[in-house]
Amino acid sequence: MHTKRSLELKCNAQPLLVMRHSSKSKKILALFLVLLMGFIIFLAVMFYTAVHKRDIPSIYSEETAKAQRGNIISADGFHITATQKLYKAVVNTRNIDPDKRELFVQLFSIYSGINPDEIRQRLRTRKGSVTLSYHIGPKEAMYLKTLAFELRKLKVFVEYELPNGQRVLQGLNIIESGEAREYPYQKLLTPLIGYPRKMEEEGYTRIYGIKGLEKFFDEELNPQQNKSQKAMRDVNGYLILNRKSSIQSQINGFDVKLNIPIALQARVEAITDKIKENLQADEIIATVMESKSGKVIALASSNRFNPSHIRVEDYPSLNANAIEYSYEPGSVIKPIIFALLLDQHLINPYDMVNGHNGRYQLGRKMIVDEHAFQMISAEDVIVHSSNIGIAQLGQKLNGTEFTEGLKRFGFTHFSGVDLPYEKRGSIPSSAQLNNYLYKAITSYGYGMRANAMQLVKAFNVFNNAGRLVNPMIVDSLIDEKGVSRPMQVQEPIQVITPATAERMKQILIKTVNEGTGTIAKTPGLEVGGKTGTAHIAKNGAYVNSYHTSFIGFANDANHAYTIGITVINPRTVYFASITAVPVFKAIIDVMVEERYLRLDQRAIAEAQSAPAIAHH
């Protein structure tokens, strides 16, 4: 009975086992088919990716950076101007949690330095995207980027929903917006440096020169090429730089290096400031130039401005009047005329000239001397600045000789100095200078116009063996790699013979030792020069205002400098000998202290004091 029951159970279990094995096999087969299908799809996708042309922009990224304007650097290595990148701070007011709005204001104020009240006011201007500042420097921008990250952690920013249901969280964004020109020394070297203006280019503020060196070298200072890198990116978004990458280097503008050192320039400017105040003058202009090379090592004006903050009252000071202001030079032109006569052997320095006791009627013109002479030597016409004497000597030149001679000395031509907007001045025509009256008044510096730089360039001929050189403010351009490119120097032009130049030099030294420039005398140095005083003409008539000048040179055994001083409208006194000459003397003293000039101690020991004589 038991055996029968067991056989029945075994027979019934066999169909069940077969059914279970069949079901399991089907599942395995189904799983295998699914895996096989997935593998086939994977292979198909891989094959498609390998052979199909991909969308290049999806796997390439590009990085850009703006190149910067070059700097202006003094001869002693100080940055007179520099460019700083600017950033703007933008926040969406809808993203600021109302309960944490004041926290945002206080933290942004601390990190940016902006007054909290100003921030609150800007946030109230509108709902949405608000620019809190357009003038954030690189250092503050770095701090604010850190702040933006921290504000997210503090949950100061919350999402808001657009009408289409999209949720937005923008936070605080710090964006590069342009560049600003910095002037660390503020008024120093203005108006020579000039000033720039800002221009918007595709949302980025660029700087362009308007006046002075900023204008003259605008093309060289401007950025040469922006940085650009285009390459494949990895999974983290970083660029993979290889031979297939497109790379454009950042090339900033050239730096402009001057021949002018800060230390000397600052001291010369201080001299012009002090004496301008004492004289109550409109302006004092001072130029110091190396006689052989033409390098300008100081070019100062008493009228200066801060290029970063130009005010309405600064407008009269914006021009570089060393070249942009022309005037009748007065008696400083006498040595030029005398040199032309001497070079053509039309006079001898020892020829005697009738001084007419200080009053000389020439046609309808009465010519007057401040100090009366009966007879005077030709060279003493220069030493004692006789209008009557030079008016008579000038008649020996014909109109063409007169005109062409002045032109050879550089008058009516650009001085060649590296500044824009120069006024070339004027001289009478050859036909006019054939007339004895034109000839007379032009001989003592009326009826013609010149600028201060032209006069310095002309006088430099006497201290440079008769050779004319162009004044040069800039020494070189320095490229991105620090390679210096010297400025092109024009070959000197022989204007008068070396012998004539030497004789004129001795006459100008005598003028300082015995004549109108005695205040400039400096024992231990070779100093020469000529004074000039001329009425200012307004509305076609001469008024009781004057330009006064002293132009000359100061030399030691190894160095030679030409120095020019122009005083515009001094009010307390008008004689050049006590307006312009003291500026000249003060500059020489500074140059000795700064070791540009070295005193000859033996000459000092031998020097004998002599009383100063004041002339016009």
What local confidence, expressed as pLDDT, does residue 247 receive? 63
In whole angstroms, give the CA distance from residue 581 to residue 530.
Answer: 9
- What the block records as the tokens of 277 is 């105040």
In whole angstroms, give the CA distance from residue 431 to residue 398.
Answer: 9
Where do we find the tokens 């969406």? 92
Q: What mean pLDDT do residues 308-320 have?
A: 95
pLDDT band at 7 (very low <50, low <70, confident <90, very high): very low
CATH superfamily label, 262-305+323-474+494-605: DD-peptidase/beta-lactamase superfamily (3.40.710.10)
Q: Is the dihedral of CA 310, 315, 317, 318 positive or negative?
A: positive
Q: Note the pTM of the prediction, 2 decimals.
A: 0.82
Q: Cis before residue 191, ω within 30 degrees of 0?
A: yes
Residue 609 has pLDDT above 70, yes or no: no
What local confidence, expressed as pLDDT, does residue 54 receive? 46
Q: With pLDDT > 90 as the criterion, what percentage of the chain qualifies?
A: 69
In whole angstroms, give the CA distance from residue 471 to residue 452.
Answer: 12
Centroid of chain to Cα 509: 36
Instruction: Kindly give, in sequence order, each residue whose CB lies less than 8 Å from that of residue 607, ignoring residues fewer than 6 positions away.
Output: 523, 524
- Give residue limits of the domains in the chain: 84-180, 262-305+323-474+494-605
Residue 34, burial from CB neighbour count under 10 angstroms (0-12, 13-18, 19+): exposed
What local confidence, expressed as pLDDT, does residue 605 receive? 82
Q: Which of 118-127, 344-353, 582-591 has the lowest mean pLDDT?
A: 118-127
In whole angstroms, give the CA distance from residue 459 to residue 562.
Answer: 7
Nearest to 567 by CA among 541, 546, 591: 546
| Torsion region of 586: left, alpha or beta (phi above 0 gives left; psi -120 to 50 gives alpha) | alpha
Residue 51 has pLDDT above 90, yes or no: no
**E-assigned strand segments in 93-156:** 129-136
Q: What mean pLDDT do residues 548-562 have?
A: 98
Residue 351 has pLDDT above 60, yes or no: yes
Nearest to 551 by CA among 393, 293, 333: 333
What local confidence, expressed as pLDDT, does residue 383 receive? 97
Please indicate whether residue 78 or residue 24 has the higher confidence score (pLDDT).
Answer: 78
pLDDT for 78-130, tens place per residue? 999 999 888 989 999 989 999 999 999 999 999 998 999 999 999 998 888 89
Residue 38 has pLDDT above 60, yes or no: yes
The pairing of strands 255-258 and 72-73 is: parallel
Q: Which of 323-337, 357-371, 403-417, 442-456 has the lowest mean pLDDT?
A: 357-371
* N- to C-terminal Cα separation, the chain: 159
Residue 57 has pLDDT above 70, yes or no: no
- What the block records as the tokens of 462 is 């006497």
pLDDT for 219-274, tens place per residue? 999 988 876 666 565 544 455 666 666 666 778 899 999 999 999 999 999 999 99
555 within 8 A of 288, measured Cβ to Cβ: no
285 within 8 A of 321, measured Cβ to Cβ: yes
CA-based diameter of the chain, in Å?
Answer: 176
Average pLDDT of the chain, as a whole number: 89
pLDDT band at 8 (very low <50, low <70, confident <90, very high): low
Q: What mean pLDDT do residues 465-487 have?
A: 96
What local confidence, expressed as pLDDT, does residue 55 receive? 43
pLDDT band at 56 (very low <50, low <70, confident <90, very high): very low
Q: Which helix (H) or strand (E) holds 61?
A: strand 60-65
pLDDT for 133-169, tens place per residue? 888 888 888 999 999 888 988 999 988 878 887 887 8
Q: What mean pLDDT do residues 467-490 have?
A: 95
Q: What mean pLDDT do residues 462-466 have?
A: 98
pLDDT band at 607 (very low <50, low <70, confident <90, very high): low
Strand partners, 212: none
Residue 389 has pLDDT above 90, yes or no: yes
Q: What is the DSSP letter of 312?
A: G
418 within 8 A of 214, measured Cβ to Cβ: no
CATH topology of domain 84-180: Ribosomal Protein L30; Chain: A, (3.30.1390)
